[in-house]
Amino acid sequence: MIDLHTHSTVSDGTETPTELLATAAGAGVTVLALTDHDTTGGWAEATAARPSGMTLVRGAEFSTVSPDGRGGEVTAHLLGYLFDPEDPAIVAEQERVRASRRDRVRAMGERMAAGGLPVDGEALLARLPADSPAGRPHIGQALVAAGVVESVSEAFAGPLRKDGPYYVEKYNTPMATAIAMIRAAGGVAVFAHPFARKKGPIVESSVILDLAAAGLDGIEIDHPDHGPEDRATLGALAAETGLIVTGSSDYHGTNKTNTPIAGETTAPAEFEKIIERAKGVEVLADRRPPAT
């Protein structure tokens, strides 16, 4: 089973890279991509922890902003696989986004404290590494610890929601820039959960056609936040454009409990297309391809 989108404690998952790989191996995953938000900070630990028999794809999920196809913009996520982690443009941009993420946690913490919620953004950040891509799940954990909500998912539906009184936006890389940056660093760029309506407004299909023409490599179709109709629409778009099609759990441990690891998977033939295009860093495997 191939799962190409997972998070560790290096961003907003609840398992360390070592624990994540053990969970994946226990679930029968043969190919795993580690795609923490806006960082490659977990790559070294994941590489060291890779069990024999498992293929490890080093990646990241980039925070971007995209035209929505209606004259406005929406935030969107872009998966980058197997890019050179030392590429100066990527290093600088990921640092910029992580700094903005920490500013956002601080600002949302201040708004929540002013609104009477027991959140201290500064104290929360002090417990994380200095270059952490801190996120709303970290605030959610603080809300759970304080007894305000019972789960991080409940916090996302409540105080952390995008249209709520405490929400603060962060800096996001323009989508076209992010695609070009990943490809210039030898990586493969896949639009993550493009139709995840629960996360907020989504792009029109026309935007995916434009991005495909501008160098996007693939789209994530089988994702827990995509319903059957949206999967069908995205499948038709992929067929029309030749975009690579992926499926993945977007596993965050107990921070998002809707899908277990490998709850959604990628077809081996599609994974092979990613391997063929990637030129940044090698996929890590005992032998290739073990994709089954």
């441990």: which residue's tokens?
A: 253
Residue 156: exposed, middle, or buried by beta-carbon count in 10 A (0-12, 13-18, 19+)? buried
If one asks whether residue 12 binds Zn ion (CB under 5 A), the answer comes out as no
Q: How far is the CB of 89 from Zn ion (least distance, A)?
A: 21
Residue among 45 and 264 whose Cβ is closer to Zn ion: 264
Selected from 38, 250, 264, 270, the binder of Zn ion by CB under 5 A is: 250
Q: What is the DSSP string of the chain?
A: -EEEEE--TTTT-SS-HHHHHHHHHHTT-SEEEEEEET--TTHHHHHHHPPTT-EEEEEEEEEEEEE-SSSSEEEEEEEEES--TT-HHHHHHHHHHHHHHHHHHHHHHHHHHHTT----HHHHHHTS-TT----HHHHHHHHHHTTS-SSHHHHHHTTT-TTSTT------EEHHHHHHHHHHTT-EEEEESTT-GGGS----HHHHHHHHHTT--EEEEE-TT--HHHHHHHHHHHHHHT-EEEE---B-GGGS-SS-TTSS---HHHHHHHHHH--SSPPB-SSS----
Q: How far is the CB of 256 from Zn ion (least distance, A)?
A: 9
Q: Which residue is nearest to Zn ion (CB)?
A: 77
Q: How far is the CB of 106 from Zn ion (least distance, A)?
A: 22
If one asks whether residue 105 binds Zn ion (CB under 5 A), the answer comes out as no
**Amino acid letter, residue 63:** S
Residue among 241 and 259 whose Cβ is closer to Zn ion: 259
Interacting span for Zn ion (CB under 5 A) from 84-92, 171-179, 200-208, 244-252:
244-252
If one asks whether residue 190 binds Zn ion (CB under 5 A), the answer comes out as no
Interacting span for Zn ion (CB under 5 A) from 23-31, 60-68, 133-141, 179-187:
60-68
If one asks whether residue 36 binds Zn ion (CB under 5 A), the answer comes out as no
If one asks whether residue 77 binds Zn ion (CB under 5 A), the answer comes out as yes
Q: Please give the size of the binding site for Zn ion, defined by CB under 5 A.
A: 4
Residue among 53 and 257 whose Cβ is closer to Zn ion: 257
Residue among 3 and 250 whose Cβ is closer to Zn ion: 250
If one asks whether residue 216 binds Zn ion (CB under 5 A), the answer comes out as no
Selected from 185, 192, 244, 291, the binder of Zn ion by CB under 5 A is: 192
Residue among 123 and 157 whose Cβ is closer to Zn ion: 157
Residue among 24 and 146 whose Cβ is closer to Zn ion: 24
Residues that bind Zn ion (CB under 5 A): 61, 77, 192, 250
